[in-house]
Amino acid sequence: MTVIKKVLVAGASGYLGRYAVNEFKGRGYFVRAMVRNPEKLKTAGPHGEPAVYDLIDEIVTGDVTSPESLNGVCKDIDIVFSALGLTSPHPQYTSYDVDYLGNKRILEQALAEKISRFIYVSVFNEDKMAEVLSIKAHELFVADLKKSGLSWAVIRPNGYFSDMGRFFSMAQSGHIFMVGEGKVKINPIHGADLAKVCVDAVDGESREIAVGGPDIYTFREVMELAFNACGKAPWITSLPLWLAEGGLMVTGLFNRNLADLLSFAVEALKFDHIAPAYGTRHLKEFFAELAAKKP
């Protein structure tokens, strides 16, 4: 008799989380999704990530900043997959509250239920950005996970196509302000390709898996691709790094949480982000899909 494994997907309403739901379901798992707002799952996300409501076996509503909402979230679960994180500024909560404390609360639930494996999504090049608060929060959790005694996998992606989508939106407006010369390189990955790596990580030893996509671009090339997809001539203005850092300091005076998240973006523009290549989907096609969708 085949035993159906049960997975909890935390962050199931996010860009990666939805593709993970899709991938786990496609491989025959029973999927429990933890989300704040189940309604969100009924429609596609802003970067083409699928509506997954009808695929999910069980939806639980939970907010990691409210510990009591997580009680029992891992009951009868075999695998926990968390792509849960703070990716836009919140007036009250920081990366520490969500990425660290929030995921730690899920880990506590997982430990109480004796699950068999915990897969967590952190970031690539974390050692080069160790002082950035959002990276610190991810890595505090990774340290706790490694010490927990559970079998684990830590996925370290460099950048998602959804993140590159920001350049597409700016290109649509006709102009992009670029920090630096745009020579830094990255091989970003599509959520569907990354989800395959995440689900493959269910099996095998506890390990860290660095992940990038199939094509390497400079940031300037990404922006040019975005302009081409919109049918607009590239208009890119380069701002010196010191100006962006100064801007961050000023932002920090009136919005600390926004400055903390932006500091990741500025820090990340200082070196290449080329991770081992996975997947088959290309950024040019992703931008073409966004262009076809948007008026």
Ligand X SMILES: NC(=O)c1ccc[n+]([C@@H]2O[C@H](COP(=O)([O-])OP(=O)(O)OC[C@H]3O[C@@H](n4cnc5c(N)ncnc54)[C@H](OP(=O)(O)O)[C@@H]3O)[C@@H](O)[C@H]2O)c1
Residues binding ligand X (CB under 6 A) = 11, 13-17, 36-37, 40, 63-65, 83-87, 98-99, 102, 121, 123, 157, 159-160, 162-163
Single-letter residue type at 211: V
**Please, what is the minimum distance in Å from the beta carbon of residue 156 to ligand X?**
8
* Closer CB to ligand X, 59 or 232, in the complex: 59
Pairwise CA distance, residues 221 & 197, whole Å: 26
- Please identify, using beta-carbon distances, which residue of 88 and 237 lies nearer to ligand X: 88
Nearer to ligand X, 232 or 277 (CB): 277
Task: Say what the alpha-carbon torsion angle 228, 263, 103, 69 is, to the nearest 10 degrees.
Answer: -90
Q: How far is the CB of 148 from ligand X (least distance, A)?
A: 18
Q: 148: Cβ–Cβ under 8 A, 6 or more apart, which residues?
A: 107, 111, 118
Distances (CA, A) of 174 to 46, 115, 151, 161, 220: 20, 50, 48, 20, 15
Judged by beta carbon, residue 174 or residue 276, the one nearer ligand X is 276
Length of the chain: 295
280 burial (CB, 10 Å; 0-12 / 13-18 / 19+) is: exposed
Nearer to ligand X, 42 or 114 (CB): 42
Please report, as a single letter, which amino acid is at residue 94: T
Q: How far is the CB of 231 from ligand X (least distance, A)?
A: 26
Give the end-to-end CA distance of the chain in Å, rounded to a whole number.
51
Least Å distance between CB 151 and ligand X? Answer: 21
Nearer to ligand X, 143 or 249 (CB): 143
Q: In the numeric block, which tokens belong to residue 50?
A: 């699928």
255: phi then psi, degrees, rounded to nearest 5: -145, 85
- Smallest gap from Cβ 210 to ligand X, in A, equals 11
Q: How far is the CB of 121 from ligand X (least distance, A)?
A: 4
